[in-house]
Structure 1
Amino acid sequence: MAKQKNKLAKALNSRYKLIILHEETFAEKAAFTGKLWYWLTGTVSAVAVLIIFTTLLIRATPLREYVIGSSLNAYDRSRLIAAYARIDSMEQVAHANDIYLTNLRNVLGGEAGETLEESRQTAPAGSEPTTAPNGKDPEKGLSEDELALRHLVESGAPYDLPENQANARTGISSYTFYSPIKGIISSSFNAKEQHYAVDIAVKLNEPIRSTLSGHVVFASYTPETGYVAIIQHGNNLLSLYKHCASIIKKVGSFVRGGEVIAFAGNTGELSTGPHLHFELWYNGNPVNPTDYIAF
């Protein structure tokens, strides 16, 4: 037994030399000498380091999915499912926003080939126009003011208003509209002449009220229509107030039905006297305000 130990110790302490030679000339390029146990220790250490490094690389990178399979626990799976659900909801919201912006393009460009009442008679129930019915490019024939107004509104985001959601399937006939202002109608709604509004002659600086609750999506000045306010209501309904003397609400403000939002004036190149130019748009179509509101 002692002889075997001495033999093993002698073998481990024996010195070995590792020489690197040139393949063709056999010239010595490098040489390493050391005891046998040095070489064994170094080899084992190198293998251990390589194994540890490979393990960490697999566990810390996506390679683990291919080597050891999915390591998600129940908590991670629930978070992953919730993330997928949020992504799906965001896709639905993005689609709704696209429809919203399409309707705003029709409103701001004044592109409408038929009124809501006419579309009900000619279109199947539940259908909604997504492009200008007359087939025209909504960008053509618009003034710089209208184009600027359109792009400003498109840069904002639609507001999800919970009000009147119960009436979403019954249209707007069941809504209780507030009269934005009291006065004399100087120009009526006329779809054939593309006058999609009623003009109400009033005294200067008469208060203008929101016809329904909603969010202000536009409140600014344009040379042609003066101070303009646009309010987004529930159920894809928009109300427009033009030629105001001033606007007291900012974009993003929530207003109640009947709340004062501006004052009547005579601003803009298209105005010929103190009045309110009032429009209602529902699902991208202009509707006659006098069918729902007593001025």
Structure 2
Amino acid sequence: MKVRKRYTFTLEDESRLEKLLQISASRGKYIICGVAVLIIFMTLGALTVGLSPARRLLPGYLKDSERAATQEHHMRLDSLQQAYEANNAYLSNIIAVMNPTTRPTRTLPDSAVSQIDTPFSPDSLFPTSVEERNFLSMMREQEKYNISVIAPLAAESMLFAPVNDESIISEKSKKSKKAEVILAKGSQVAAIADGRVIAVSQSVREGGGAAVIIQHAKGFLSRCSRLGTILVEPGDFVSGGQIIAITTSGNSRNNQRINIEMWHNGNELVPYDYLGDKNTKSPRYPIIDEEVGRGRL
């Protein structure tokens, strides 16, 4: 059997011939002990530098004040960039609207539009909390009275015109917020009041066709959809009764149906209450012409 070599480490006091310390171990144990001691010293050094103010003496290390100032400058720069992009987009839109030679173009690719039109999965939506339901109920009660009082008051001193002298609103949509207007095929469609065209789009929904959105005075907004040929562009100012589109031939042999929606300061309205139709009773609210100064019932 081979004898293992052992190494003895002795610490003695020669003046007194006294042994103070004697360690006897093999070479492997000495190596393991040396590595362990080295790791302990390295750990202690790292903790000392990392947890004490001595870390500030390391090359390339920023002081606390310098680091805070750098972060603040980065946030300011990011805010300035966002403000610049928003202002640039706003100016580009104004230039596009004011330039009569500019044609409306699609701003999003078809893939992005399809993703927007795709409804969210029910699994990805959080359930409504009790506080949110109570808040929505309270706001509905408040807005219910605001819509019925403020909108008719704002409608006074405005002149609303029917989309066509021969048009009628279907019986089933007279109380709906999306009125269905029945016209003869190929009829002309007029603006319901003075305003500026803010959007013209094509849609495959609601039976297809084009849609025109017009911003009127006193916070009113109207949208006509399921149209055929469009005769206006975004940025055009139109008067009440001015022709803005022509209906398509439609699937029916005798008539064509379009949709009209109205808003007042973001609140949906019932179009029949303000437009009525020529062949039935008058609108629910009297409309006064400011220039003539008489009621049109």
Q: Shorter-chain TM-score: what band?
A: 0.3 to 0.5
TM, length-normalised to structure 1? 0.40
| TM-score, L = length of structure 2 | 0.39
